[in-house]
A and B are shown apart, each in its own frame.
Chain A
Amino acid sequence: MAAILEVRDLRVEFPTRRGTLTALDGVSFDIAPGEVLGVVGESGAGKSMTGAAIIGLLEPPGRIAGGEILLNGKRIDRLPYEQMRRIRGKEIGAIFQDPLTTLNPLYTVGRQLVETMQTHLPLSDRDARQRAIGWLEMVGIPAAAQRVDSYPHEFSGGMRQRVVIALALCAEPALIVADEPTTALDVSIQAQIIALLKRLAREKGTAMMLVTHDMGVIAETADRVAVMYAGRIAEIGPVRSVVKSPKHPYSVGLMSSIPPLDRRVAQLSGIEGAMPRLSAIPQGCAFNPRCPHVFARCRQDRPELIETGTTRAACWLYDPASEKRAPEAVQHG
């Protein structure tokens, strides 16, 4: 089936006083209808930036400086604000990280649902309200018919994220961009929220770009995974391959650093050093200062995504033209 979202060679720049920073460089991936693409990587890798570029809400002065984004085969990265606005909410829904700050404190949740639906769908006030109640039920808010008139502060964090999910889905978009939807929540609630998201996406056939730190969530939810590093995609492929037998040395470190109990990745324990700042991304492979397998070519040429058999990895180890080095040299975690 044709991809619902195609990102081609996306490049995002931030002009600053001290020169232009390249926050995303050569990012390419597809998402098929109904597919869940997990996006992982250390903090600052460019995951949120990718999501913001897709929904057309990069914060100025950030701008798309190259590449293209296609939704159902149509370019959306150059659309005038008003046209892109009609796509947001209607065709691409967004879920943000912190449900405590995502809802307008002065409007009831019902009103926020109604205004979102009425922006995109021709609904009478009464129908919209009925649907709002229906959505609250669907995301598991008890006594939805009463709670529809409650204000956000009257809900717990987990309940608020359910409301946010209802808001993202209420105009039935074909694609959801969920940026760490459970990071701000209590650990005990995270699994419920992910389960809800997964269930609704499956029921509605919604494709999803799911940014998360939680490898457990990725393993359970995603169909494919993209690993990001310093504004680039390091590796992308089916979830089993990337999680179980990663090929890119950075992915290997990322997967092996998953602590067995709390599966969240704060720092890469397996790999020395830190991700470079945008102003100091090294020449060649961005990962080369930290890479245990670095060789001469890595410091000169930048690797494109290369077929590894199971995944595609941006690593010279897998280029047949590189001086021969056995991929088996990469230690799995």
Chain B
Amino acid sequence: MLAFVISRILQAIPVMLAVALISFAMFAYVGDPVSIMLGQDFTEAQRQALIRDLGLDQPFFVQFATFIGNAVQGEFGLSYRLSRPVAELIAERAPATLELAFCAAAVALLVGVPMGVYTGLYRNSWLSRAFLTFSLVGVSLPTFLIGILLILIFSVWLGWLPSFGRGDTVQLGWWSTGFLTVSGLKALILPSVTLGLFQLTLIMRLVRAEMLEVLRTDYIKFARARGLANRAVHFGHALKNTLVPVITIAGLQLGGIIAFAIVTETVFQWPGMGLLFIQSVGAADIPVMAAYLLLIALVFVVINLVVDLLYYFVDPRLRAGFGAARGGH
């Protein structure tokens, strides 16, 4: 078990290094940090001093190694745009994005899984048909359009929910949370639905397809032949057997939710990392972009690890040959 976790972490290192290289390449070759930081008036001596301070006169590998060393310590230098440490900016923005992603994932799972089970069990009911039609909308409409439509209906026409921002937040240490105020919670609703809708429909369709598959299996027929109650057959035997693929997809989707919060955060002016990233792109604020990129890569790596560990708990067959390969069935 521990060996498995360690081997997984070792496997993730090349991935992280590759992403770090891309981030670093942005640093080194995109834009000219020196002239950006110096502004309009500077002397040649000032320029040389800054190049030395930034270590830009060092060979490539030394610079890359320094970059990694700093990154591991969460040290990404100063934002060109805001002249504040990047780590501080990200730490400030992370709670907003994580709370939003959490709510979106909760919406996607808590609504998507039951809808998938229902449409799998009652294939031909009108409600199933309605769900499936609705899911087509969720898959095909672009996120920004859904966001704008929701704003139009619930903010502009009905005036029930705010159209932008996080509402009032409460500071818990360095973490600012919107969960503890009414306006914070209300502000979460529209962005969470917007961000989670695509994943919701995806999970619903996945659970439905898996349920249909599992319900045809011999062990489900045998469970019925043993006289087990429908509830036990459907939610114990059938649903549990759909979980391995659902966990895989749901895990990857959670990574997607965090990474693609950018669009939703832009539509709702949500003060999270995605919005920070977009603003940084606009200003060619390379350190922030590089740090964001690395952070998202890290999120994906961690989620993958968690997904693998969940397999371990769900499927006893994978426990035997664990660490060797996953999904070998």
**Chain B residue contacts of A102, Cβ below 8 A:** 218-219, 222
B residues less than 8 Å from A115 (CB atoms): 228, 232, 236
Give A229 to B317 CA distance when docked, in angstroms. Answer: 41
Q: Can you list, as one digit per residue, whether each of B80-122 has a CB less than 8 Å from chain A (1) or not (0)?
A: 0000000000000000000000000000000000000000000
A50 at the interface (CB under 8 A from B): no
A104–chain B nearest beta-carbon distance, Å: 4
User: Chain A, 75-96, contact with B by CB distance < 8 Å: what is the 0/1 string?
Assistant: 0000001000111111001101
Cross-chain contact A153 with B317 (CB below 8 angstroms): yes
B227 is contacted by which of A96, A105, A107, A119 (Cβ under 8 Å)? A119
The binding surface of chain A is classed by DSSP as mixed
Docked-complex contact A105 and B219, CB < 8 angstroms: yes
A98 within 8 A of B: yes
A167 within 8 A of B: yes
A151 at the interface (CB under 8 A from B): yes
Tell me, in angstroms, the Cα distance from A101 to B230 when the chains sit together.
20
Q: Is the CB of B228 within 8 A of A103?
A: no
Q: How far is the CA of A241 from the CA of B229 in the complex (A)?
A: 43
Proximity bits, A158-191, B CB within 8 Å = 1, else 0: 0000001001100100000000000000000000
Task: Render A188-203 as a binary contact track against B, CB cut-off 8 A, 1 for contact.
Answer: 0000000000000000
How far, in angstroms, from A150 to B236 measured CA to CA in the complex? 18
Assess whether B241 is in contact with A88, with CB atoms less than 8 Å apart: no
Q: How many of A's residues come within 8 Å of B, CB to CB? A: 31
Query: With the chains together, A94 CA to B227 CA distance in Å?
Result: 10
- List, in ascending order, chain B residues with CB within 8 A of A89's CB: 225-228
Q: For residue A105, which residue of chain B has the nearest CB?
A: B317
Interface presence of A116 (CB below 8 A): yes
Interface check B282, CB cutoff 8 A: no
CB-CB contacts below 8 Å: B277-307 with A = none
What secondary structure prevails in chain B residues at the interface with A? helix
Task: Report the bound CA distance from A168 to B222 in whole Å.
Answer: 9
Q: Mark B132-145, 1 if CB is under 8 A from A, else 0.
A: 00000000000000
* B219 proximity list for chain A (CB < 8 A): 101-105
The reply on B240 being an interface residue by CB < 8 A is: yes
B222 touches A87 (CB 8 A): no
The reply on A63 being an interface residue by CB < 8 A is: no
Answer yes or no: B213 CB below 8 A from chain A CBs.
Answer: no
Q: Are B218 and A88 in contact (CB under 8 A)?
A: no
A107 to B240, CA, bound (A): 10
- Chain A contacts of B236 at CB under 8 A? 115
**Once the chains are docked, how many angstroms separate the CA of A195 from the CA of B71?**
69
Query: What's the Cα separation between A115 and B236 when bound, in Å?
Result: 11
Q: Is the CB of B226 within 8 A of A116?
A: yes
Task: Output the least CB separation between A241 and chain B (Å).
Answer: 32
Does A57 lie at the interface of the complex (its beta carbon under 8 Å from any beta carbon of B)?
Answer: yes
Any B CB within 8 A of the CB of A143: no
A90 to B225, CA, bound (A): 10
Cα separation A168 to B236 with both chains bound (whole Å):
19
CB distance from A12 to the nearest CB of B (A): 17
Chain A residues within 8 Å of B222, by CB: 94, 96, 102-103, 164, 167
Give A94 to B226 CA distance when docked, in angstroms: 7
Tell yes or no: A240 within 8 A of B by CB: no
Give A119 to B237 CA distance when docked, in angstroms.
14
B218 close to A98 (CB less than 8 A)? yes
Question: Of A87, A96, A153, which one neighbours B316 at CB under 8 angstroms?
Answer: A153
A321 at the interface (CB under 8 A from B): no
Contact A85 B315, CB 8 Å, known A57-B221, A101-B217, A104-B219: no
Q: Hey, which chain A residues are within 8 Å of B315, CB to CB?
A: 105-106
Q: Does B224 contact A (CB under 8 A)?
A: yes
What residues of chain B lie closer than 8 Å to A108, measured between beta carbons?
316
Tell me the minimal C-beta distance from A328 to chain B in angstroms. Answer: 45
Residue B19 lies at the interface, judged by CB distance under 8 Å to chain A: no
B34 within 8 A of A: no
Is B25 an interface residue, CB under 8 A from the partner? no
Across the interface, which residues of B come within 8 angstroms of A105, CB to CB? 219, 241, 315-317
B317 smallest CB distance to A (angstroms): 5
Contact of B226 among A98, A119, A153 (CB under 8 A): A119
B314 at the interface (CB under 8 A from A): yes
Q: How distant is the Cα of A55 from the Cα of B236 in the complex, in angstroms?
A: 22
A88 to B230 Cα, complex, angstroms: 13
Q: Does B223 contact A (CB under 8 A)?
A: yes
- Which of B228, B230, B240, B315 has the most chain A CB atoms inside 10 A of its CB? B228
Interface positions of B from 170 to 227, Cβ below 8 Å from A: 217-219, 221-227
Given contacts A104-B241, A115-B232, A151-B316, contact A88 B223 (CB under 8 A): no
Q: How far is the CA of A87 from the CA of B228 in the complex (A)?
A: 10
Which residue of chain A lies nearest to B223 when distances are taken between CB atoms in the complex?
A: A104
Are A55 and B225 CB-contacts (below 8 A) given A104-B219, A105-B219?
Answer: yes
Residue numbers in A under 8 Å from B227 (CB-CB): 85-90, 116, 119-120, 171
A115 to B227: give the CA distance in the assembly, Å. 10
CB-CB under 8 A for A106 and B225, given A96-B218, A98-B218:
no
Within 8 A of B (CB), among A95-151: 96, 98, 101-108, 115-116, 119-120, 151
Docked complex Cα distance between A89 and B225 (Å): 6
> What's the Cα separation between A153 and B321 when bound, in Å?
12
| Smallest CB gap from B319: residue in A | A151
Q: A152 CB to closest chain B CB, in angstroms? A: 9
Interface residues of B (CB under 8 A from A): 217-219, 221-230, 232, 236-237, 240-241, 314-317, 320
25 residue pairs from A and B, CB less than 8 Å apart: A85-B228, A87-B227, A88-B225, A88-B226, A90-B227, A93-B225, A94-B226, A96-B221, A101-B217, A103-B222, A104-B237, A104-B241, A105-B241, A106-B240, A106-B241, A106-B315, A107-B237, A116-B228, A119-B226, A119-B227, A119-B228, A119-B229, A120-B227, A167-B222, A168-B226
Give me the 3 closest cross-chain CB pairs, A-B, nearest first: A89-B227, A94-B225, A88-B227
